[in-house]
Copies of this chain bind each other. A is one copy, B any other.
Amino acid sequence: MTNQEQNSLNIEPIGVIRSPFTKATGTPIQSAVAKAAEGCVEVFSAFAQGLVDLDGFERIWLLYWFHKASITQLKVKPYIDSTERGLFATRAPCRPNPIGISAVRLLRISGPRLYVADIDILDGTPLLDIKPYVPKFDHFKVKRFGWIQKIQASTKQADGRFYQEN
């Protein structure tokens, strides 16, 4: 086994995310600014058994693959800023491992389908994981949040800058 093979980890979608957003341009930047947007998470039947007990949670984390993101850029100009920033200090999708996380609101579950709101995810996005949003684990009061703290952002929607759009 080569070193390359040892270092490479394999993941497989467990479902697909359906949303009103078919292009990056116009998609909400984060779930927090996507109040009205509803979507549906279709979990593949092989994994449906793992959804038991999820309906008690008001909010859930979706982990997903930025399948339309452009190749890695270690310096990016974020949507909400005009200064170039280090990639890891941003939530831009053009990451070495293009994995996104969004805490969406869970409306209801019907079989292997999760109906969610506050969605900021492109239609057709491969789903990697679902985790419950738990205040004790996820809800931290922070006083400092870097360059984002200084931004009076009016931009709430993405454009195509980090995506391969046609």
What is the interface of chain A, defined by CB distance below 8 A to chain B? 7-14, 30-33, 47, 49-59, 61, 63, 65, 74-75, 85-91, 95-97, 99, 101, 103, 126, 128-149
Partner of A51, one of B11, B56, B86: B86
User: A75 and B101 in contact (CB under 8 A), knowing A88-B54, A89-B57, A142-B59?
Assistant: no
A131 with B11: in contact, given A32-B137, A136-B30 (CB under 8 Å)? no
**Quick one: which of B58, B74, B134, B141 contacts A139, CB cutoff 8 A?**
B141
Enumerate 22 A-B pairs (CB-CB under 8 Å) in ascending A order: A31-B137, A32-B140, A47-B74, A49-B75, A50-B87, A51-B86, A52-B85, A53-B90, A53-B146, A54-B86, A54-B89, A56-B149, A58-B145, A63-B97, A88-B131, A90-B131, A91-B131, A91-B132, A91-B134, A99-B129, A132-B145, A133-B142
Which residue of the partner chain B has the closest CB to A9? B11
Nearest 3 CB-CB pairings of A with B:
A56-B146, A52-B86, A53-B89
Give chain B residues whose Cβ lies under 8 Å from the Cβ of A143: 58
**Which secondary structure dominates where chain A touches chain B?**
mixed
CB contacts (< 8 Å) of A86 on chain B: these are: 49-54
Chain B residues within an 8 Å CB radius of A56:
89, 144-147, 149
